[in-house]
Amino acid sequence: MLKKILSWRPRVQDAPPNSSPTDSYFQKLVTYIPADIIAAWVTVSGLLSQAGTTVPHWIVWAVLSALLALTPFYVCFLKTTPPGLTSNKLFHWMTSCLAFVAWAFAMGGPFATLSWYQPIYGSIILVLVTLIIPVLERLFVPGNAPSGGPPSSK
């Protein structure tokens, strides 16, 4: 069993929906997060912030968790065809979740209630995730693999 786990290799992935090869890294990051998930987060965050201090912190965490749990299903059933959880969508729903958490962290959200949180941390995480996603995409999405070998030094 352990040998099987250690020998696992990801399957070739489909390109993300609504993306093009000329997208900037930030555009690719936002492309991986379904717009409806972002809209829901912005709307609920706005409603909760208007409620003021009467809202317990756990509610904001619960909303973030619910949207994070909904993201893979939203990507697999509503944003890609054919609908369903298939192995060729693994990269996209995992990246969507990573991008959503990084984006929410950068915006503050419930993370801002933590004593150690500083806005600069959110900016750093957003930059790193924005740079990491294209590297992972080159590795796991067909058509994005580098052609040839390393650049020549001629």
Summarize pLDDT for 27-58 with one digit per residue, the tens.
Answer: 667 778 899 999 999 999 889 888 877 788 89
Q: How far apart are CA 93 and CA 140, in angstroms?
A: 13
pLDDT of residue 149: 44
The pLDDT of 7-14, averaged and rounded, is: 50
With cut-offs at 50, 70 and 90, classify the pLDDT of residue 145: low
The pLDDT of 48-70, averaged and rounded, is: 89
Q: What is the DSSP letter of 115?
A: T
Mark residue 124 as left, alpha or beta (left: phi above 0; alpha: psi -120 to 50; beta: remaining): alpha
Residue 153 has pLDDT above 60, yes or no: no
Where do we find the tokens 């912030």?
A: 49
Residue 154 has pLDDT above 90, yes or no: no
Q: What is the pLDDT of residues 74-131, one digit of tens each?
A: 988 887 778 887 777 888 889 999 999 999 998 888 998 899 999 999 889 988 998 8
pLDDT of residue 14: 53
The pLDDT of 131-139, averaged and rounded, is: 84
Residue 132 has pLDDT above 60, yes or no: yes
With cut-offs at 50, 70 and 90, classify the pLDDT of residue 138: confident
The pLDDT of 3-23, averaged and rounded, is: 55
